[in-house]
Amino acid sequence: MITSKQRAYLRSIAQNLEPIFQVGKNGVNDNQVAQLIDALEAREIIKITLLDSTPADKHTIADEIAKRTDSDVVQLIGKKLTIYRKSTKNPKIVLPK
């Protein structure tokens, strides 16, 4: 679990990131979860676009993604979701205390 200070720091990092994944009408499937886990291991923080055709509420989708990838939701603004998970092999981001 990340603190509000850490969340604010991660938001500042994510400000310049471009979304690298999309969730559409099929929702979140196992293949996407595997790709998200790989991306989180490599980058630690990623942005995801939630398309208008997403079957569930954006908060439900965000919670599902965070739960299935064992990550934290940094922010959800409009249709953009940002998640963070510390890399187990090569951590790059140092969070403030």
CB 49 within 8 A of CB 22: yes
pLDDT at 36: 96
Looking at residue 1, its pLDDT comes to 83
pTM > 0.75: yes
Residue 27, pLDDT score:
87
In the chain, which stretches have pLDDT less than 50?
none
Per-residue pLDDT, 97: 87
- What is the set of domains in the chain, with CATH numbers? 4-84 (3.30.110.60)
Closest CA to 23 of 92, 80, 71: 80
